[in-house]
Copies of this chain bind each other. A is one copy, B any other.
Amino acid sequence: MKFTELLAGAWARNDSLLCVGLDPDPAKFPAHLKGDIFRFCAEIADATADLACAFKPQIAYFAARRAEDQLEALIAHIHARHPGVPVILDAKRGDIGSTAEQYAIEAFERYRADAVTVNPYLGRDSIEPWLAYPDKGVILLCRTSNPGGSDIQFLKVGSGGTAVYELIAEKVAKEWNPDNKYAGQLGLVVGATFPAELARVRAIVGDLPLLVPGIGAQGGDIEATVRAGKTAAGAGLMMSSSRAILYAGRDENFAAAARKVALETRAAINRYRPKNINSPADSFG
């Protein structure tokens, strides 16, 4: 199954565009977990799996603590318990071909991620080793949510006034995807901080899935993001929230507190898109 088919299944089944970001910081864990990264993330995943269209573990939080084994175990746990919810490894790798092959082994064979985030600065041939895995997703950085994102991404290229991030969107939609060869494999990262630019990317890339970090619990941002980024069918987005969900509670009820925020965030997103008629929750609820 292609990555975007897996994703579309989760969009429909869970009536959700919410991606739960797993950025585990043991200093913020409830005391009773004694810093157990796997247990913290697994309990969050179990409490939110029916509300999410994807999980997005951020590898840096694991690597900083020598917790690669816990990341492997977490992804295996999600695949075993929640097989319909894709796992996006947020790694933002980017390297030349022979090295990109090694990184693809890391992400797809070792960690068994369904998709990975990749940095496009090294160009087309640095992306191709990732695309050699036909069932896996490759989500390329386009317009990031941080202030410095403008430094390079917002530069105007050539005489037409096209920004670098728009050119990345064009390349990913067309030149790097000849004859739609990689249909179902490609996506883009576009921050929620810039709704006008999100709308611009959506106009360029058609129905390509967009991973949108930067939403909080604030309805305003969510409204602008959904309106700017959704497809005609009211989907197309993985709207990622991490800290607001992970650290909603600081005691033994942290997973229930996370579930409550995930429910609220899903509802806040769904307020601004068409009701999902394919959702089992709608059919039977």
Assess the B156–A96 pair: CB atoms within 8 A: no
Residues of B contacting A110 with CB < 8 Å? 63-64, 66
Mostly helix, strand, loop or mixed at chain A's interface?
helix
Q: Is the CB of A124 within 8 A of B151?
A: yes
List of B residues within 8 angstroms of A119 by Cβ = 92, 94, 119, 121
A153 on interface, CB distance cutoff 8 Å:
yes
In contact, B61 and A102 (Cβ under 8 angstroms): yes
Task: Tell me the bound Cα distance from A265 to B167 in angstroms.
Answer: 40
- Tell me if A106 and B63 are in contact (CB < 8 A): yes
Stretch at the interface among A2-10, A141-149, A197-205, A244-252: A141-149
Instruction: Name the interface residues of A55-105: CB closer than 8 Å to any CB of B.
Output: 58, 60-61, 63-64, 66, 68, 92-100, 102-103, 105
Contacts of A99 in B (CB 8 A): 23, 58, 60-61
Q: Does A168 contact B (CB under 8 A)?
A: yes
Contacts of A43 in B (CB 8 A): none
A155 near B158 with CB under 8 A, answer yes
Are A96 and B144 in touch, CB under 8 angstroms? yes
Q: Which of B23, B124, B146, B156 contacts A123 (CB 8 A)?
A: B146
Pairwise interchain contact A148-B164, C-beta atoms closer than 8 A:
no
Task: Using CB atoms, name the residue of chain B closest to A158.
Answer: B156
A-B pairs, 5 with minimum CB distance: A123-B148, A123-B151, A60-B102, A125-B148, A64-B105
* A120 touches B (CB below 8 Å): yes
Q: Considering the complex, give the chain B residue whose CB is closest to the CB of A128.
A: B148
Q: Give min CB distance, A70 to chain B, whole Å.
A: 13
Chain B residues near A127: list those with CB within 8 A: 148
CB-CB under 8 A from A58, the residues of chain B are 99, 102
Q: Which residues in B have their C-beta under 8 angstroms from that of A171?
A: 151
Interface membership of A16, Cβ < 8 A: no
The residue that A60 contacts in the complex, of B103, B144, B147, B148, with Cβ under 8 A, is: B103
Judge if A185 is at the interface, Cβ distance under 8 Å. no
Within 8 Å CB of A109, what residues of B?
Answer: 64
B contact residues around A103 at 8 Å (CB): 60, 63-64
Other A-B pairs, 20, CB within 8 Å; known A63-B106, A64-B103: A60-B99, A61-B99, A61-B102, A63-B102, A63-B110, A64-B102, A64-B110, A92-B93, A92-B94, A94-B119, A94-B121, A96-B145, A119-B119, A120-B121, A120-B152, A123-B149, A123-B151, A123-B152, A155-B158, A156-B157
Check A281 for interface membership: any CB of B closer than 8 A. Answer: no
Minimal beta-carbon separation of A156 from chain B (angstroms):
6
